[in-house]
DNA sequence: TTGCGACCTACAGCGACTGGAGGTTCAAGG
DNA sequence: CCTTGAACCTCCAGTCGCTGTAGGTCGCAA
């Protein structure tokens, strides 16, 4: 039987959150300030545990803390219509879909880079050439706004003058 | 005919970078310090323009600045074998592939949320229920390490006590 | 009572920028 | 030649979502 009032460490273990993260959520108002022992240590009840589980789950699904704040407001006022929760989820879905499209194109590009590198010198390395030249890129999502003055040859004469820059 | 020595603003426009970002890249040593006018303003040559284009392209493909630093070192020393560039690209590819897998699962989850929200009250909203309960989640990547003491019903009694928390 | 791990607050730092304040320079028009 | 205003300069603070550290306190078992 697990106790219902637990310390922050136990809560962290149960929800897979770091202790500092829990305190951080409290600080920014996502978690209400919990009860304290006489020695000023936090004690969390089951409601807090479930609220934190909600937050972690939403975070893992990629919701921003701001979106989660909106969602938690809705949780706290369950008589409203759920359009806002729906809107938050839909926005997130759109975001995820566009990321998937971008990542698929990116994967193509990287696969091509790796496929074409035949283990020679850097001077012939396609990885670097592809990165150097927008024109060879399959990934259409990031066209340079103005390509004027940018040659599309395989030259890499634009490395820094001495070839020895090691600003660290 | 575009001039070959341009100010930072023109460079920004040509590469789709913000002016501050260019200065930041210089500060952290990704771009070498450019020539200056007598009045201390930066003037960039074509090499700098191409180097910045390389950086931006790599960033858009999701490389970290650290990975880009490695790549630029290779660009500056083209006599080495290209194994390191290849390794950077391969690592990135693996990363992208795992992100795609995660995002596809996540999309499923969000689509299900949205599909099941029938525009009622928040009290019946599936978006919130799914977020509240790990057990209903298809997205296997984030199993809670310990579900003891977490009921799996549709109850949402764990909202904060007063229902009025508006810490902002 | 002692010991030690869990806890407390406060603050600094990460990556990769972005924005603003407050001052200087450049280039075009009059 | 002088004025104007956009572009530039440096320095610094803030963003997001944490994470880590320092230096001190508490809880609990032996």
Protein footprint of strand C, defined by Cβ closer than 7 Å to any strand atom: A 7-10, 12, 19-20, 23, 40-42; B 18, 20-21, 24, 37-41, 59, 64-66
- CA–chain centroid gap for A9, Å, is 25
Interface confidence (ipTM) of the complex? 0.70
Least confidently predicted of A27-41, A120-134, B43-57, B126-140: B126-140
Domains and CATH numbers, chain B: 8-80 (1.10.1660.10), 85-142 (no CATH)
pLDDT (tens digit per residue) in A135-144? 555 454 444 3
Instruction: Kindly state the average pLDDT of the residues B11-15.
Output: 95
pLDDT at B105: 82
Q: Is the CB of A30 under 7 A from strand D?
A: no
Which among A46, A48, A78 has CB closest to B156?
A78
- CA–chain centroid gap for B104, Å, is 17
Q: Do B113 and B127 form a contact (C-beta atoms < 8 A)? A: yes
A62, with CB counted inside 10 A (0-12, 13-18, 19+), is: middle
Closest Cα in chain B, distance from residue A128 (Å): 7
Q: Quick one: pLDDT band at residue A61, thresholds 50, 70, 90?
A: confident
Instruction: Kindly state the average pLDDT of the residues A148-157.
Output: 34
Q: Are A161 and B113 within 8 A, CB to CB?
A: no
Q: Distance (Å) from CA A134 to C1' D21?
A: 44
- CA–chain centroid gap for A48, Å, is 25
Instruction: Kindly state the average pLDDT of the residues B89-114.
Output: 83
Q: Is the dihedral of CA B137, B138, B140, B141 positive or negative?
A: negative
Token pair 């890129």: residue: A137
A-B interface: how many C-beta pairs under 8 angstroms?
275
pLDDT at B104: 87
User: Can you tell me the distance from the alpha carbon of A126 to that of A116, in angstroms, rounded to the nearest whole number?
Assistant: 6
User: Chain A residues with CB inside 8 Å of B110's CB?
Assistant: 61, 89, 92-93, 96
Closest Cα in chain B, distance from residue A20 (Å): 18
pLDDT at A145: 34
pLDDT at A7: 97
Q: Quick one: pLDDT band at residue B11, thresholds 50, 70, 90?
A: very high
């Amino acid at each position: 039987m697990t106790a219902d009032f637990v310390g922050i460490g136990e809560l962290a273990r149960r929800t897979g959150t770091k202790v500092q993260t829990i305190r951080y959520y409290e600080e920014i108002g996502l978690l209400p300030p919990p009860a304290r022992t006489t020695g000023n240590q936090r004690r969390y009840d089951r409601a807090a545990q479930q609220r934190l589980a909600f937050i972690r789950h939403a975070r893992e699904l990629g919701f921003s803390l701001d979106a989660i704040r909106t969602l938690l407001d809705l949780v706290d006022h369950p008589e409203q219509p759920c359009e806002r929760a729906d809107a938050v989820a839909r926005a997130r879905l759109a975001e995820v879909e566009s990321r998937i499209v971008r990542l698929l194109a990116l994967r193509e590009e990287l696969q091509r880079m790796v496929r074409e590198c035949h283990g020679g010198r850097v001077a012939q390395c396609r990885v670097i050439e592809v990165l150097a030249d927008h024109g060879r890129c399959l990934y259409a999502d990031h066209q340079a706004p103005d390509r004027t003055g940018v040659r599309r040859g395989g030259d890499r004469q634009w490395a820094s003058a001495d070839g020895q820059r090691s600003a660290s």
